[in-house]
Amino acid sequence: MAKWWPFGRKKEERPAPAPEPTPAPPPRPEPAPAPAEEAPKKRGGLLGRLFGRKKKEEEAPPQDVTPPPPSAPSAEEAPPEAPPAAPPEVPPGAPPGERVYPSHLHVDAEGEWHISDTVWEGTMSGTLHGADVKKFIDAMEADPPDHETAIPLIGDAYGIPGGLIRVGHSHIYSIHW
């Protein structure tokens, strides 16, 4: 038998029992906090940390504020409002007659794409920047839309070289921008 196996040995051969641990000194009592406010009992552990926190004190509205008089007409008497005006095409300060394009544009194109010898059905999406935005918007606003120009730009933004996409063989379901 191995040395560590205590069974089957004589009393003299057995290892001596471990000494009894000395009792730890009793903890010192901590000073009690001042009873200014009732503190909620904190919970221990992770949930206690999450749920035992104090809620932020809401700011109470001042008591001396009087409610405003009901000067607004009711919903029955109110005239219907006009829809909000569309943003101007030309910002103030720009020369008149010159169109301003956004700095970037997110585009999604869904369809069946012929890329080199591969046919793939899905959605290409990407963000166009700078001069590509102007080219894309002009191509899509043409009558009919110029997909030969727009689709390679989306492919480049998606990460596929636009020159590899065979637009004439691809079936375009929708383009959102």
pLDDT in tens, 4-60: 666 666 666 666 677 777 777 777 777 666 655 555 565 566 666 666 666 555 555
- Chain-centre distance of CA 43, in angstroms? 31
- What mean pLDDT comes out for the span 83-100? 58
> What's this model's pTM, rounded to 2 decimal places?
0.46
- Pick from 22-31, 77-86, 164-173: least confident: 77-86
The strand pair at 104-115 and 171-176 is best described as: antiparallel
Is residue 177's pLDDT more than 90? no
- Pick from 55-59, 133-137, 165-169: least confident: 55-59
- What mean pLDDT comes out for the span 58-81? 54
Q: How confident is the model at residue 2 (pLDDT cuts 50, 70, 90)?
A: low
Q: How confident is the model at residue 87 (pLDDT cuts 50, 70, 90)?
A: very low
Helices (H), the chain: 45-51, 131-141, 147-158
The Cα 99–Cα 89 span in angstroms is 6
Highest mean pLDDT among 10-19, 81-90, 108-117: 108-117
